[in-house]
Amino acid sequence: MSLSGMLRTQRFDDYRLCHQSTVNQTLHLFSAVIFLFCYGLLFVDPALAGIVGWIAMLTRQTGHFFFEPNGYDAVNDVSNDYKEAIKVGYNQTRKIILLLVWGSAPIALYVDPTLFGLFDPPAGRLDFIRHVGTLWLAIGIGGGLARMLQLFATRDVTTGLVWAFKVLTDPFHNIALYWKSPLKLMRGELIDTAIADADWGDEDAEEAAHLT
């Protein structure tokens, strides 16, 4: 399969298996806009970008944890356990671990404000917050790199690189894909019924879900 075909497959499976709730889709739309703002901040204020990026991440994970159906997937005729088992990116278990690491960052800095000498002692609350943002940025980048390297080892280099590219470009793709979701939600459509008939023209698509 070509690289573009692999990317299309990952995106299509991500959509049909992990984003059936229009609430989740809408939250992903908001998250995507925030992430684009975060991308711009990376060049001028990385610490603030770390804070904004995790606001975006929490927004989209709220959709997954609280609004996405977790029972049997009648649309795709698979169980939720099956979907969790085959995910290429971060399944729920991996996400929980990542979120625990994220949540522990402020605690670690509170206990040791220099974090073993990595930071200068904060002069005030603002410095502490900026240190948290910097650490959150490192956790986000590190989490992505760690999963990519794990995919290199457990699958192949191409799968890992395509997944990484997908994650980085998800904000752009999410806006294009979910911009109508708030309208569906306002009409009372809690589940995207169009998924059942969706066909992105990839005959070689495999059933695999990915990080969102």
Q: Would 80 be classed as within a structural domain?
A: no
CA distance 113 to 110: 6
- The answer to whether residue 4 is domain-embedded is no
Distance, CA of 151 to CA of 24 (rounded, Å): 26
Any domain includes 74: no
Overall average pLDDT of the 27-42 stretch: 98
For residue 210, the model assigns a pLDDT of: 36
Give pLDDT tens digits for 133-154. Answer: 999 999 999 999 999 999 999 9
Q: Is 79 contained in some domain?
A: no
Q: What angle is formed at CA 23 by the lines to CA 166 and CA 16, rounded to 5 degrees?
A: 45
Question: 135 lies in a domain?
Answer: yes
In a domain, 15, yes or no: no
For 62-105, what is each residue's pLDDT tens digit?
Answer: 999 999 988 888 888 889 888 888 888 999 999 999 999 999 99
Tell the residue number behind the tokens 């997937």, with chain if given. Answer: 73
208 pLDDT more than 50: no
One-letter amino acid at 182 equals P
Q: Which of 148, 48, 36, 142 is nearest to 97 (CA)?
A: 142
Q: Kindly state whether residue 75 falls inside one of the protein's structural domains.
A: no
Write the single-letter amino acid at 120: D
Report DSSP letters for 9-61, one per residue: HHHHHHHHHH--BHHHHHHHHHHHHHHHHHHHHTTT-HHHHHHHHHHHHHHHH
